[in-house]
Amino acid sequence: MIEVPTGCQDYYPALYGGVSAIHLAADGIHREEIPVPAAEINSRFVLAYTGAPRHSGINNWEVFKAHINGDKKIFRNFAEISSIAQSMRLALLKSDWKEIAHLLHEEWKLRKTNAPGITTPLIENLVASAMKNGALAAKVCGAGGGGCVIFLVEPDAKLRVSEVIPTIGGQVLPFKLATKGLSVLAE
């Protein structure tokens, strides 16, 4: 349908809304709702567009090929990213924002080593500038290479981070966590 390699987990946020843990198991995909108030998410994240469209198929294909070819680094990274995701679930359940920031930072460090196009000089500049202005962690959304970057901030740093992003070449996008997922209206 969309003709690019993508993950099955990409569809769940839109289907259900809210904060979720997606469990990929032998018997299928399972979603677990994580009870984090929408206001908490809305006050702690800044979303920015890099101005460059992302080409997820390119980065995803490079990682997919490396996995098929048995690249040990990719296997290690995926194992670590999986471990981080499991720890992130626990940190979210405890509302441990310091740990969430640490895990987000560690995940980004690993993810950007999966393929050369996942990060760009602009993304690195956005992240560095945001960190100097109070961001706790950041990572690209999706496969990277452009598109959007999400920044975790303390609520009192949200304005500072939002103001510095345009000076580096990014565009802050207004967003709110969708608390309800997809609705189908029948006529």
pLDDT in tens, 102-133: 999 999 998 888 777 788 999 999 999 999 99
What is the C-alpha to C-alpha distance for residues 88 and 104, in angstroms, rounded to an integer?
8
Structure tokens at 100: 């969430």
The pLDDT value recorded for residue 6 is 60
**Cα 154 to Cα 130: distance, rounded to the nearest angstrom:** 12
pLDDT the model gives residue 57? 56
What pLDDT is stored for residue 144 in this prediction?
74
Per the listing, tokens 């702690």 go with 44
Give the pLDDT of residue 61: 65
Burial (CB < 10 A; 0-12, 13-18, 19+), residue 153, is: buried
**CA distance readout (Å), 31 to 28, 91, 124:** 10, 17, 32
pTM of the model: 0.87
Q: What is the pLDDT of residue 72?
A: 86
pLDDT number for residue 3: 60
pLDDT for the residue numbered 48: 97
CA 34 to chain centre: 16
In this prediction, the residues of the chain whose per-residue pLDDT falls under 50 are none
